[in-house]
């Protein structure tokens, strides 16, 4: 994978396969501390401690369609290769949290990539799942909670073209705000 947004998408897909109904994605970019932290947390079926320890091995997967699971091991490798750390915690019946930190300025850190498109794809492709997306860049914070959207347009409304276009624009505005384009 060439950007971290694709890693985020892969971990979210794991959450969806685990039956999550609520997924929280938090991105914290702190240039002063030279840190980028990505946390993905879900309320899916979770894993016992033995499986949670094994999933960092690329030859461990719960999928039946293939014998390797690369998402978590590749994210772990990307974090560690760029001066960061990786952690995974999970409890059966409670959910899973994946956290990857990166040295922000490290030459081997992948670019974050297009988080707006990543989050949009997850929301419109999984309207029954609630998502909280929080992104911080230094002192700027931007958050989206699909439960608030659903209260306005309904769960089925998230797949309407006019809502999708509004959501795309809103996510892009959030990104512009975070990057300081519109002060």
- Its pTM stands at 0.91
Average pLDDT over every residue of 110-119: 96
Interval 120-179: pLDDT, tens = 999 999 999 999 999 999 999 999 999 999 999 988 899 899 999 999 999 999 999 999
Residue 19 pLDDT: 96
What pLDDT band is residue 53 in, cutting at 50, 70 and 90? confident
CATH class belonging to 4-178: alpha beta
What pLDDT score does 67 carry?
A: 42
**Mean predicted lDDT score pLDDT of the chain:** 91
Domain limits of the chain? Answer: 4-178
Q: What is the mean pLDDT of residues 74-89?
A: 95
Q: Check residue 50 and give its pLDDT.
A: 87
23-54: string of b/e by CB count within 10 Å (b at 16+)?
bbbbbbbeeeeebbbbbbbbbbbbbeeeebee
């Amino acid at each position: 994978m060439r950007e971290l947004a694709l890693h985020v998408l892969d971990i979210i897909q794991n959450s969806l396969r685990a039956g999550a109904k609520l997924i929280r994605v938090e991105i914290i970019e702190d240039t002063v501390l030279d840190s980028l932290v990505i946390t993905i947390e879900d309320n899916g079926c979770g894993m016992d401690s033995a499986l949670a320890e094994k999933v960092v091995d690329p030859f461990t997967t719960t999928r039946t369609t293939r014998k390797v699971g690369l998402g978590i091991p590749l994210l772990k490798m990307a974090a560690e290769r760029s001066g960061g750390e990786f952690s995974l915690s999970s409890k059966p019946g409670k959910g899973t949290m994946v956290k990857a930190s990166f040295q922000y300025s490290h030459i081997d850190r992948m670019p974050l990539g297009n988080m707006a498109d990543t989050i949009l794809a997850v929301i419109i492709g999984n309207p029954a799942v609630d998502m909280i997306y929080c992104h911080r860049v230094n002192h700027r914070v931007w958050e989206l909670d699909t439960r608030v959207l659903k209260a306005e347009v309904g769960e089925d409304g998230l797949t309407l073209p006019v809502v999708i276009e509004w959501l795309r624009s809103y996510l892009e505005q959030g990104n512009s705000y975070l990057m300081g384009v519109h002060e």
